[in-house]
Amino acid sequence: MRIVVVGTGYVGLVAGTGFAEFGNQVTCVDTDASKVEMLRKGQIPIYEPGLEELVRRNAAEERLSFSTDLATAVRDAQVVFIAVATSSTSWPSPSRSPSTSPATRWSC
């Protein structure tokens, strides 16, 4: 399955790596080009035990890749997960603007 995960923080990077570990073709997309470049080099911006080894192995086996190009990534995707930060405007109502903004960048 071709999966895109939008966001490479704690949720997105761990989820995307897990999907790749199960044999899926995964592209993790982020707007932060320096973060994407770091991930392409096998450097992990978060701490999660065992994650660095899994990222490196799945990238080497071409099941996991990283990009800043959302439109190209989603073009052939079968599933898209949006895993971006959710800020709170006033408790307890979360703001949906960070999580809906990626969805407005391409037309379905």
Residue 23 to residue 63: CA distance in whole angstroms: 7
Token pair for residue 78? 């079968």
Classify burial at 24, counting beta carbons within 10 Å of its beta carbon; exposed 0-12, middle 13-18, buried 19 or more.
middle
What is the pTM assigned to this prediction? Answer: 0.82
Q: State residue 42 phi and psi, 5-degree precision.
A: 85, 15
Enumerate domains of the chain plus CATH numbers: 2-105 (3.40.50.720)
The tokens describing 92, both together, are: 């307890």
Strand boundaries in the chain, DSSP class E: 2-6, 25-29, 64-67, 79-82, 88-90, 93-94
**First-last CA distance in the chain:** 18
Instruction: List the chain pLDDT tens, one digit each, 108 residues.
Output: 999 999 999 999 999 999 999 999 999 999 999 999 999 999 999 999 999 999 999 999 999 999 999 999 999 999 999 999 766 665 566 555 554 555 555 544
Structure tokens at 88: 């709170």
